[in-house]
Structure 1
């Protein structure tokens, strides 16, 4: 049932007041803040009707009311004003992000840190899913005898490095020849199409004893394949614990466990982005809409970053359902645009 204008204003006032105070909202607390020239009694009746409709809840008999998941959904879809960032904040965020954009991983880590610090919630950024990316460069640097750093550069300048053990008999000059041969032979090939046989063929003209060559090629192969792994940058987890919703230690532990469980958030964000049905710049999932155990008291605002028209990866903010959605949306939208712009300039 559509809400009339008065109920919309009352619901918006309740959400805004609850977000600001974290206390159940009474009719008296929003008199003069809802844009209606009505008495507390009239507001009380409107709030009771909104409760009957499922948009408000009353935690305790004697307390005020709080928004339900359905109430928050109406708010973010129809009533939420998006706060414009000031020129000063845009300048600050841009400077902090641009200063860290030499590599994609560094860019995403900084983006997550900026979102966490500017919103007061937890943020997450994940690297692209690289099955369709191609190999660009390979380097093998000897750190000390028997210890080699393998550096792999793939699409969009994404850099992966891996410290490996190599035979002591292999010297730096031979490693350099092998890395160049691999790069010349395989640059431009898709990561998921590269095999160990591909590396053997690319390096067949480099004179190395077979027993040593096989060990080196295996470590190079593993490093190239691991460049396809998702990397997750999580920032601001302690921020959640400052909000009243998570003062209960068991509830806080449940949320933190969900956030830090390997691959859980990254998998959810990618699936959610792929199933996205609208063309908006961001998605909001509220409470029970988040199909992850332990996240029932949270809301999740996420967006994607792109290179051209190709979806690369995801950025998100996680907070209580009583999240300042407007502030989060303005910041995640701006920061994702900055990430897009940085990728386009590569």
Structure 2
């Protein structure tokens, strides 16, 4: 989404016409959920996706004629047998898509504010009017941005939202899903997760690159500059190189930070876990065999790390998919990270703690 919004704001700044198509509501099983977006250019270019298949093709065909025209239009699709037969999928849901050519005063400022909230990564909510009569908004497609605390930030026409719209913006700490009420679609964007990968070896490199592709804000920590460098990790947001004890002690760990420990050896893993387990990070994962993990846990318990801190560590890290290669291991780890990000702590409710009772 950040890439799409950068292209949109660049186009508006330079005066190039584009068409923005946004999934604003869904019901049932659909190839994309509310919030997905696609940007079309007059030369047939496309950034983003509505899920592909017949629906996306039809939206492209219908919406292309709107480039250069004012106003917005809603397209509604029921994914019935005809779409299922054409795409080879049986979704059985409904998608509502808003298409508009961003033009006129206020558009650039609004979308710059939208991009600013995306870049900040703290989360926000966008409210989109689907029914002006029900919502009290000025036009179809009227939009309002609210920051992570629910404070009004910007609108397309510069007007503040009606009290009913502002009052329905759900707190992000309640993990709201996209919803529709009173003729308005509410599209929350949750805070972006910072992923600290401790260890820049083969597994760390693969995890960092895959995690960056699925929109984690990736930081990589290692004490070896020959491993933690831009040539090997071009998509990491930050590379932190230095003695592990000093670097880990000073790391900025927040409630929106996940940690994956994949260093080159038992001692470094233990040192990293000693620093990371007691932090406020809601997810800490440790690679290794069950025997190695047990030894590390026992040592850290003897050194005063609490059972509570260690009990929440995901160890061995990753979903059990029978991984063998480095890339398969990275897939299993990033899949677990995505599950935790999207589903919350419930994603690990079935995971057994690696902290089994120690022998008497």
Between Structure 1 and Structure 2, which shows a larger proportion of helix residues? Answer: 1
* Structure with larger Rg: 1
TM-score by length of 1: 0.22
TM-score by length of 2: 0.21
